[in-house]
Amino acid sequence: MKVTEHLARAKKPPISFEIIPPKRGDHVKDILSLVKDLQQHQPPFIDITSHPAEVVYEETPDGIQRHVKRKRPGTLGVCSLIQHKYNIDAVPHVLCNGFTQQETEDFLIELRYLGIDNVLAIRGDDKGYRKPLRDGRTRNTYARDLIAQISKMNQGKYLDEYLDAAPTEFCVGCAGYPEKHFEAPNIETDVRRVVEKVEAGAEYVVTQMFFENAHYFRYVEQLREAGVTVPIIPGLKVLTRRGHLRSIPRTFHCEIPQSLSDEIDGARKQDIFDIGVQWTRQQAQELLAGGAPALHFYVMSDASAVNAVIAGLER
């Protein structure tokens, strides 16, 4: 079932999650255990991230050397397992960066074979590696270009002309940034980018994590004023360790309120988990009261904090 159908049919705002596939060489049993743990919350869908190749620099006896680290595998396999073993709709992330249009089309065809109806189309982080384009291959530069490619496939238009090619029926989600994307010069420009993605075919928006609900409510208002009518799902992350105060703003370019950072900074290590859970639970409760259509939690690989948040949530 499509994400938009889940949202339309839900009697109360659903809760969904985002997880990451196992590292290269790891066993899938850990992620299946995670999904089984999350299953208790009856998520209508679970997002699975994708990871392209990236450039890493390593210190060696001969100096710093540049290496291309291969992409993290597993997204397709994990999606299939989630959807067919647990009967939860899988939402794989489809990226511009690190993939050609031809690879994207092949990936989408594989998803269709597996009966997967949903994708989240994003540009993806710049990992420093630009895949060479050979043999006439092409790439999508921005998320709106990727969404346009998927929309064409939904109309039966592939990169090459195929006789009697069947159209796909993907429900396409896109990303939104309540505090604006770090590359955008201002929030107004960032809002226009969402408008472009919706015009290209995106049917819902999932936001980047935020820790102050005013950002989300203001963002929804700005998007509505710009003519965006699709559902806007808030994304939440639980802070569970002191190091998050540095790593999350650096990696995800979002602000942590001073009151929260002060509380975590001054807390005993064993109390930080509970502080993060309480903050996120309050956020979630306010978002639901304010009309959020659903809640989306960035779980990654450990459900303990999210389980604690949901356990005390009134829906």
pLDDT category of residue 255 using cuts at 50, 70 and 90:
very high
Q: Is the pLDDT of residue 54 over 60?
A: no
Q: For the purposes of burial, counting CB atoms within 10 Å of the CB of 251, is it exposed (0-12), middle (13-18) or buried (19 or more)?
A: exposed
- Ramachandran angles phi, psi of 269, nearest 5°: -55, -40
pLDDT digits (tens, 9 = 90+) for 275-309: 999 999 999 999 999 999 999 999 988 999 999 99
Position 134 confidence tier, pLDDT thresholds 50, 70, 90 = confident
Pairing status of strand 63-69 against strand 54-60: antiparallel
Per-residue pLDDT, averaged over 167-186, amounts to: 96
Q: Describe the crossing of helices 187-200 and 143-154 by its angle, rounded to 10 degrees.
A: 20
The percentage of residues in the chain with a pLDDT greater than 90, rounded to a whole number, is 77
In 3-state terms, the chain is what percent helix, strand and coil (to 5)? Answer: 40, 20, 40
pLDDT at 221 over 90: yes
> Which of the four pLDDT bands, split at 50, 70 and 90, describes residue 265?
very high
Look at residue 57 in the predicted model and tell me its pLDDT: 43
Mean pLDDT check: name the lowest of 50-59, 240-249, 290-299: 50-59
Give the span between the Cα atoms of 195 and 193, in whole angstroms: 5
Q: What is the pLDDT of residues 68-120, one digit of tens each?
A: 444 555 789 899 999 999 999 999 999 998 889 999 999 999 999 999 999 99
pLDDT value, residue 126: 63
pLDDT digits (tens, 9 = 90+) for 141-151: 999 999 999 99
d(CA 51, CA 125): 9
Calpha distance 274→41 (Å, rounded): 20
Please give the pLDDT value at position 64.
47
Instruction: Give the pLDDT score at 70.
Output: 45
**pLDDT mean over 261-272:** 96
pLDDT of the residue at 22: 78
Residue 191 · residue 232 · CB < 8 Å? no
Per-residue pLDDT at 150 = 98
pLDDT in tens, 3-45: 999 999 999 999 999 998 877 667 788 888 999 999 999 999 9
Provide DSSP, 163-176: TTPPPP--EEEEEE
What's the pLDDT at 68?
A: 43
The CATH number of 3-311, from 3.20.20.220, 3.90.550.10, 3.30.420.40, 3.90.1150.10, is 3.20.20.220
Structure tokens at 257: 């309120």
Among 61-70, 137-146, 174-183, the minimum mean pLDDT is found in: 61-70
Compute the Cα dihedral for 265, 271, 215, 20 and give only its sign: positive
> Which candidate, 118, 117, 116, places its Cα nearest to that of 81?
116
* Domain positions in the chain: 3-311
Residue 275: predicted pLDDT: 97
**Where is pLDDT greater, at 137 or 195?**
195
- The per-residue pLDDT of the chain, averaged, comes to 90
- At residue 127, the pLDDT reads 56
